[in-house]
Amino acid sequence: MLVGGSNGRFRLDAEVAGRLGAQLADLIRRDGAGVALTPSRRTDPEATRALTQALAPLGGWVWDGAGENPYFGLLALADAIVVTMDSVSMVSEAAATAAPVLVAPLPGKSRRIGLFLEGLTRDGRIRPFEGQLELWRAAPLDDTPLAAAEMRRRIGF
């Protein structure tokens, strides 16, 4: 689980985090899923506390900020990734893995992020997180060849 935070468009406070934590706790109880969570620098400490209170008693692990951030290790090892919808960067990094990506909704709205998420949903790369663990065959997104081809075209190669 990759958790962002409140910004000018979305809200992730202790109340919202408590609801998300309850969904993840249900996932642990119902499906036997293991949950490892890393908050971002933007995550409100109260939101992190609410998530920890929901997950830790069930064996869920929440990074406490000590030592190096396990973000990239979690991405590399995940069977599925749940990510909050507030960050194009976090969703993109999750979608660059071979794991299915589930996007957790947050209160708020962003036209730009909404269009980005719609495109990835239409392409079958992400799905909304509705409290259920979904696994499907997912291919990592890699736009490097497209970007290189466009650069070659623009400079005349």
Alpha-carbon torsion 16, 77, 55, 29, what sign?
positive
Q: What is the pLDDT of residue 151?
A: 87
For residue 136, what pLDDT band results from cuts at 50, 70 and 90?
confident
Helix (H, G, I), strand (E, B) or coil at 152: helix
For residue 141, give the DSSP letter: P
Q: What is the pLDDT of residue 150?
A: 82
For residue 31, what pLDDT band results from cuts at 50, 70 and 90?
very high
The stretch 35-55 carries a mean pLDDT of 97
Evaluate if residue 45 carries a pLDDT over 80. Answer: yes
Domain boundaries, the chain: 2-155
Cβ-based neighbour number of residue 45 at 10 Å: 10
Percentage of the chain surpassing pLDDT 90?
A: 86
Evaluate if residue 141 carries a pLDDT over 80. Answer: no
Q: Is the pTM of this model over 0.85?
A: yes
Q: What is the spatial distance between Cα 93 and Cα 43, in angstroms, rounded to a whole number?
A: 18
Q: What is the spatial distance between Cα 101 and Cα 79, in angstroms, rounded to a whole number?
A: 9
User: In this predicted structure, which of 79-88, 119-128, 139-148 has the lowest mean pLDDT?
Assistant: 139-148
Q: How many CA atoms lie within 13 A of 11 on its CB side?
A: 8
Q: Which residues of 82-93 are buried (b: 16+ CB within 10 A; e: fewer)?
A: bbbbbbeebbeb
Class of CATH domain 2-155: alpha beta
**99's tokens:** 């794991």
